[in-house]
Amino acid sequence: MKIALFGANGGTGRVLAAQALAAGHEITAVTRHPETFALEHERLRVVTGDAMDAASVSAAIAGQDAVLSTLGVPFGKEPISVYSVGTGNIVAGMTEHGVRRLACVSSSAVDPHDDPQEGVIFNRVLQPYVVNGIGRTTYDDMRRMEAVVAASELDWTVVRPSGLFAAGALSGYRVSATEHLSGRYTSRADLADFLLRLAGGPEFVRETPEVRTTEGTPNFFAFMWRETIRKKP
């Protein structure tokens, strides 16, 4: 397939690009800083683009079979619109060029729930700290993004991972669009693999599946330092 990848230079985007190339796909990697994109391949085209710029988004989408979005920004206090406006530009570009299949990444934190396997401290202290505290502006905009996508006529899937972390291999990850899954984490490798599955088939069309990694997950406090606090600008 010919796949446009937005957020290509992020942690998940780089893993996804590598997996897609290994699977034989042709990838158009869209990034604001193509000079920092380390992958090179005969089936990889790296283009300068910004999800907030509708013209560059449209140009990258032309001629593609599917679009995958792993757009992301660090947590911050100020309101953001990268998810909602950027994905809105993607939806408009796909509509313009007649590209139907979209899979984009949101978060399980847009619809938080108590997990009986995680205990009181996680459910009453740690999760609210992330969802309503340091991640509030991010998740607010993700909710707006999900509404934009759901209002489109595309064959869309919004994927809701939990806390993202780096892993060297795939796990026997779990996916469901009908129930909340237990577990705090989703590896970028598992998320990328699932996104590729969605690009190539009719699974979970117009649904919001959750995805969870089943093994090799990190310690919560090490994860918080590495993936959230240390990444703040």
pLDDT, tens digit, for every residue of 110-156?
Answer: 986 666 666 665 654 566 556 666 668 999 999 999 999 999 999 99
Which amino acid type is present at position 224? Answer: M
- CA–CA distance, 125 with 117 (Å, rounded to integer): 15
Share of residues in the chain with pLDDT > 70 (%): 83
Quickly state the pLDDT bin for 74 (edges 50, 70, 90).
confident
Tokens of 164: 């993202």
Which amino acid type is present at position 108? Answer: S
Indicate the SS3 state at residue 212.
Answer: strand
Q: Which residue has the higher pLDDT, 90 or 124?
A: 90
Residues paired with residue 103 on neighbouring β-strands, in sequence order = 68, 157
What secondary structure letter does DSSP report for 80?
-
Q: Which residue has the higher pLDDT, 152 or 182?
A: 152
Q: How far is CA 104 from CA 19, 133, 169, 220, in A?
A: 16, 24, 22, 25
Q: What is the pTM of this model?
A: 0.89
Tokens of 71: 């757009």
Tokens of 102: 């979209």
